[in-house]
Amino acid sequence: MTVVACPTCARKVEWTPENKFRPFCSERCKQIDLGAWAEEKYTIPAAAPNELQDNPLDEDKH
């Protein structure tokens, strides 16, 4: 049996089909995570694109 940590509270959770909230331990932790996404608390870091790499056709102008 696989055991994982709840992403919200770190409680140990069994990864089984019977656990309808997996990877969360409860409906509460699932809703807390959903609320964080809705409030845009999670972000994916990205580097600013280089303008020359974005449009290779502009290279002929230089």
Annotated binding site for Zn(2+): 6, 9, 25, 29
Measured CA to CA in angstroms, residue 33 lies from 11, 15, 26, 54 at distances of 14, 18, 11, 34
- Say if 26 falls within a structural domain: yes
Could you tell me if residue 10 is inside a domain?
Answer: yes
pLDDT tens sequence across 6-49: 999 999 999 999 999 999 999 999 999 999 999 889 888 887 76
Q: Residues annotated as binding site? A: 6, 9, 25, 29
13 within domain boundaries: yes
Residue 58: pLDDT above 90? no
Is pLDDT larger for residue 62 or for residue 2?
2
Q: Which domain holds residue 15?
A: 3-38
Query: pTM of the predicted model, to two decimals?
Result: 0.63
Q: Is residue 14 part of a domain?
A: yes
CATH number, domain containing residue 33: 3.30.50.10
Domain assignment present for residue 58? The answer is no
**Residue 8, pLDDT score:** 95
- What is the model's pLDDT at position 1? 86
Query: Rounded to the nearest 5°, which phi and psi values hold at 6?
Result: -60, 130
Total number of domains constituting the chain? 1
